[in-house]
Amino acid sequence: MAASWSDVLDLYGRALDDFERQLDEGHAPSAKFDFAMPPGLGPLPPELADVARVVQEKSARVEERVRDAMSQTAHEQSAVTRARAHATLARKRPAFVDVEA
C-alpha cells in the first residue's frame, strides 16, 4: 500500500521527535533515527506545504543538535588525546638498579 504525503510527514515528524527525545535524555551515542522515505510519493501536494515546512524546520533543528554534539565529541576526544600524550611524556622513566653488582 502506498503511503500518503500526510502519513509520511506525520511519521517523519514523530521519528524526529523520538530522536530528539533520545538526545534530551542523554542517549546521543546510542540514539537511532529510523526513517526511510517510501518510494513513489510523487510531488508534495500544495495543501501540505505548511506541514512540510514545520517538519523541515524540526529536521534542521535536530540536525544542528547532532552537529553540535559531534563537534563537542571531537573537542573532548582531542582533549583526551592531548592529556594522554602529556601523561606519557611526563611519566618518569624506570630506573633499574643492579643489586648484585
On the question of pLDDT at 5 being above 80, the answer is yes
In this predicted model, which residue has the larger pLDDT, 93 or 68? 68
Q: Residue 98: its pLDDT value, please? A: 78
On the question of pLDDT at 50 being above 90, the answer is yes
Q: Residue 101: its pLDDT value, please? A: 66
Q: How confident is the model at residue 8 (pLDDT cuts 50, 70, 90)?
A: very high
d(CA 26, CA 34): 18
User: Average pLDDT of 71-78?
Assistant: 89
Neighbours of 44 (CB within 10 A): 13
Q: Where are the domains of the chain?
A: 1-29+44-67
Q: Where are the alpha helices (DSSP H) in the chain?
A: 5-24, 49-90
**Residue 29: its H or E element:** none
In this predicted model, which residue has the larger pLDDT, 31 or 55? 55
